[in-house]
Structure 1
């Protein structure tokens, strides 16, 4: 397993490993939220963040007019990769399934609706208790697969997401 303070950084497909202390020692100055100035081989270098996907830890950085695709993998990402599970980041849920058998009491979303993390999708009655099924990330509802009053089994698809 990689050390907890070691990062695997892929730049245009080439692998580099850096200790957290190495990264902390970089001589970088933030000019704005997307522009940075650093020193490389005793020369000033300007860098600009073109795109950032925090979910997949993927960044596009422009340095001297050339763009670089950068992927950052922390110790957990590296361990999961070694175990054959790929990266922990970037796994997006496409379906919300019933966590237990029950009865759909109320549906709070419609097809095509945009929902925010924490929004209630529906209420599922199970074992004489009402359970709110919440969304865990911002998404758009592709299809509501159940109706109010419908009995569902554990693992049955309740809602599909885009």
Structure 2
């Protein structure tokens, strides 16, 4: 999952959890920590013999927090696979990017376009199966398929670029 800490984006993976002992990786670096959570949102973390305390305050929406630690406050947003999927599904509200990126690991089921195809808003560009569910990914503005970087049947990773696009700018 991605964790946004202000302007920083960290890739965090939970490797294992046994009681309070947690193994995780942050941007590929492994960490073994002992975490104790109190009901009031206080958190005590023990790592490499050092103790850290933090206060977690959950914001509306459930996956955003204010974390107070060391006389500093941090705004934290957790972007897990579900959040990435939902962001991709409602992407029509956002400006079309020049690439299509897989929001989560999965398998490319279908690519109904080819390089050079001119697309209209709403056209499906790829179908990905993840968590036993197929999802159609569409463009939300007029564009041309520049390059397709995967094939049907390929496995894709989270944040992997699937294809590049030339977005056609609207003339004013």
User: Shorter-chain TM-score: what band?
Assistant: 0.3 to 0.5
Structure whose alpha-carbon radius of gyration is higher: 1
TM-score (norm 1): 0.43
TM-score (norm 2): 0.41
